[in-house]
Amino acid sequence: MNPSIDLEAAKAAFFSSGGRIVELEGFQYVPFRQRHHPEPKPKQARPAKQEPGGERKIRAKERAAQIEELAKTMSCGEVAKLLGETKTALWGVAARSGFRFFSPPKPPRPEKVKAEPSPEDRELADKIIALRDAGRSRCRTTVELGIGNCRLVRIIVVFDIDFPVQQRQR
């Protein structure tokens, strides 16, 4: 059916049942009420600054003096174990107070014992000298002997062989 015909029929039924038309008021703008912010809190009183020769500084100087006395004969790790402090804290005290911890003398390192060259290395050295005299390059020598460049260099150094690196020809 047609919607306008349905609407007219609904209006007629409404009026016949005793209904009446009432006009409603339109929208009225109501502004927001004014904001009321809370009063600012009073500022907290700052703690009084300590004077330059305060109690904490006196204790710190006494502690630094104690650590300095111990540092003359003990390492930082030993002092840390004795006082129950961290090494970092002790190093900081030492840096501020201008002293160093005792470090025991280190034992000398043993010199490396050079191994005697093996007979196989001696044979390779003889072959390297022969190939050098024949005019072979280092690269060609390593290929013919089937060894790597590091081993070739090691044998040249151990047996003091004069085998210069050839420069590329341009």
Q: Walk along the chain (170 residues) and give the pLDDT tens digit of each residue.
A: 688 999 999 999 998 998 888 888 889 999 999 999 999 999 988 887 766 667 888 889 999 999 999 999 999 999 999 999 999 999 999 999 999 999 888 899 888 877 788 889 999 999 999 999 998 999 999 999 999 999 999 999 999 998 888 766 66
C-beta separation of 141 from 132 below 8 A: yes
Question: What was the pLDDT predicted at 5?
Answer: 92
Exposed, middle or buried: residue 6 (CB in 10 Å: 0-12, 13-18, 19+)?
exposed
Question: What was the pLDDT predicted at 58?
Answer: 86
Question: What was the pLDDT predicted at 76?
Answer: 93
Shortest CA distance to 106 belongs to which of 72, 75, 68? 75
Question: What was the pLDDT predicted at 169?
Answer: 67
Residue ranges in the chain assigned as alpha helix (H): 3-16, 55-71, 76-83, 87-97, 119-133, 138-145, 149-158
CA atoms within 13 A on the CB side of 78: 12
Q: What is the pTM of this model?
A: 0.38
Question: What was the pLDDT predicted at 20?
Answer: 86
Q: Tell whether the torsion through CA atoms of 154, 155, 157 and 163 is positive or negative.
A: negative
Question: What was the pLDDT predicted at 97?
Answer: 92
